[in-house]
Amino acid sequence: MEITPQQLAEQLKSGSDAQIVDVRETAEVAEGMIPGARHIALGELAGHLDALDKGRPVIAICRSGRRSAAAADQLTAAGYTAYTVPGGMLDWTAAGFPVS
């Protein structure tokens, strides 16, 4: 399933309980992440699934949307309700949404 940066920003504003997982590499997240996001690189995701709450939706984000789509597929297969952000952080920052 997909969620646009605009929809994600609205959810965050309205107090959504979704878990945001940034699946980029460490050097990439140094450029900034969505406030409140958790960093778990895509290659490490399978080993960190227990750190996520299966009862809350997970929104995966990366630089452009390709890795987050793979992460959402992996999460869905593991029983999570998962979304990907097409356009990723490129579209998030282009829209002027905050990074920390």
**Token couple for 4:** 């646009």
Exposure string of 7-27, with b = 16+ CB inside 10 Å and e = fewer, is ebbebbeeeeebbbbbbbbee
How confident is the model over 52-95, as pLDDT tens digits? 999 999 999 999 999 999 999 999 999 999 999 999 999 999 99
Predicted TM-score (pTM) of the model is 0.96
How confident is the model over 2-60, as pLDDT tens digits? 999 999 999 999 999 999 999 999 999 999 999 999 999 999 999 999 999 999 999 99
62 is catalytic: yes
Strands (E), 1-100: 19-22, 38-39, 58-61, 82-84
Closest residue by Cα to residue 71 from 36, 35, 34, 46: 46
Active-site annotation holder among 23, 45, 62, 69: 62
